Chain A
């Protein structure tokens, strides 16, 4: 029997249209059952339009910096790998001249040049990493957070090449043996994925501030840039702040008072 070319095209077209509707398996298998159910934000969730941070280096001493790093890495199961090439970091210390290249000059004292700064993913408004990710494993959320969906990351490391801040780390090996104390509530990563700071999206969802902000004793301020009454907006309005490599156009959301 067989079908004519015309018939074939008709069927193919019709299936494409049905497919475009994007009906999920659940709706087909259990019509009506899932409509009653729904998903929502948590009642206490912090909701913003563009989350940002101001890091006041004048208030941040070395010990507090280390505390911020430790808290972040502990709750997010970030492994402690010594080898510099395989090291994984979400938030870390960087010297002034490395964090702000071009801002240093020959008359600057050594202690200022080598002043340690706290750096992390800048949650850029125009993130280079998102543009290059072929799988949308890295994407920008509505609230401005540049998120990682580990389920999708294929480990191509395009994002690492694109990010001008070295904010991303690749898991060259299974990280689990290098985690001293696992936080059972938060997943680890696996070999072959890229990870970075996510502005503690999981804490925002339950109404908590990011872990480093909590540890910083007021030196790091977190808030919504789109809200003119937020503390970050007020500080940015009234104080002199700088961003890392703003000339590159990624529009970082982490501001510094140096």
Chain B
């Protein structure tokens, strides 16, 4: 170690100074901290007093679903609710990569593996079905960059 530095850290040396003797530029740092804190809690301040956004209510009142005697998706609703994205991911690999195009559901019924031609034939209300929850959860799946969404009014 350099001689100068040695004396700085040696308690017996007369030149020794306490390491944290002074809060250098204390007021500047304090102001900086306050500004930083202020900016970080800004989003919370904005939302103060406002009610939480209403929970999403995806609609299934499409003509195709109305026609069904038993209104049932291809797998149980609870499963579809939480796992549809995993299922679609499996579907795309099965169809695109493995060339297997027919999905046999747990109840034995068979479906064509297709987002546009199977899922969206029933759920033709993308805005009130897909977007409703996706917007709430702030997720933006990029399905519709390529897959053509059903025509909707409005």
Contact = CB atoms under 8 A, between A and B. Distances in A.
Contacts of B105: 37
Contacts of A77: 148
Given A40-B104, A42-B101, A201-B99, A187 B92 contact: no
A174 to B, nearest CB: 8
A89 to B, nearest CB: 18
Interface in A13-35: 24-26, 29-30, 33-34
Given A33-B106, A38-B104, A188 B146 contact: yes
Contacts, number: 75
Interface string B78-98: 010011001100101010111
A142 interface: yes
B125 to A, nearest CB: 16
A151 B148 CA distance: 15
Q: Which of B94, B97, B104, B148 has the most CB of A within 10 A?
A: B148
Contact of B94 (A25, A39, A143, A190): A39
B7 interface: no
Contacts of A42: 101-102, 112
B11 to A, nearest CB: 32
A116 to B, nearest CB: 32
Contacts of A37: 75, 103-106
B6 interface: no
A25 B83 CA distance: 9
A46 B105 CA distance: 23
Interface in B39-88: 75, 79, 82-83, 86-87
Interface residues of B, number: 29
A7 B28 CA distance: 47
A189 B112 CA distance: 21
B25 interface: no
A49 interface: no
A82 interface: no
A47 to B, nearest CB: 9
B145 interface: yes
B117 interface: yes
Nearest to B148: A184
Contact of B146 (A29, A189, A201): A189
Interface of B: 75, 79, 82-83, 86-87, 90, 92, 94, 96-106, 112-113, 116-117, 142, 145-148
Given A34-B106, A37-B105, A143-B99, 11 more contacts: A26-B86, A33-B106, A40-B104, A43-B102, A149-B96, A149-B97, A185-B116, A187-B147, A187-B148, A189-B146, A190-B142
26 contacts: A26-B86, A26-B90, A29-B82, A30-B79, A33-B79, A33-B106, A36-B106, A37-B75, A37-B104, A39-B94, A39-B102, A39-B104, A40-B104, A43-B102, A142-B99, A143-B99, A149-B97, A151-B96, A184-B148, A185-B117, A187-B146, A187-B147, A188-B148, A190-B145, A190-B146, A201-B99
- 6 closest A-B pairs by beta carbon, nearest first, are A190-B145, A187-B146, A39-B100, A205-B101, A39-B94, A187-B147
